[in-house]
Structure 1
Amino acid sequence: MSEKSEKKVGPLAAELMKALSEYVAALVKADGGELYVVSASQDDVHVHLAGTCAGCPGATMTRERLLEPTVRGVIPKATLKVTTGWRIPEGATRVDPS
């Protein structure tokens, strides 16, 4: 992630994106999907799955087994919102594997 994008999303979101890029993003990409952080705060995290993950029944497993533990590791009390679809929410930042 570039220095510019870290400033854009803020330090909390940058820390979350780093955690997601180290493991989750590679697995999502291996299945042809894309991972985006739409927003992140102490209370709420919104993550969007696109590409082949859009509407995939496996998105529930991705949420439970990959996203929730990763988010809890960075922001323990946040509520996680996961959306899927071809349209990327405005302001979302793509998470690429590190």
Structure 2
Amino acid sequence: MKIKLHRDESKECIESISEDCKSTNFTLTISDNGVSIPEELDIEDLDSLGFQLIISLVDQLDGEFELKRDNGTEFTMRFTVIEKDDFTQADLKSHECSN
């Protein structure tokens, strides 16, 4: 089993929020070379708590999820974190409410 977390920092940010911020893109990959998950199995419809947690986490992070089923199984989650320098959470909420 392999677990990799890759980080890419960027200065791109949503202009309407703040110019003094940076975004960081993360890619989390979990893979193994064992028996892969069958193609006919839709992981989003499984009753497995593990898969439900993964899907829920990706949704909460407004991320993307990819599953590769060749030569084992590989899960990839991609998400972005925005860091605001001069914004507090209260400032952000008041900004969202005013729009």
TM-score normalised by L of structure 1: 0.29
Higher strand share: 2
Q: Which has the higher helix share?
A: 1
* TM-score where L is the length of structure 2: 0.29
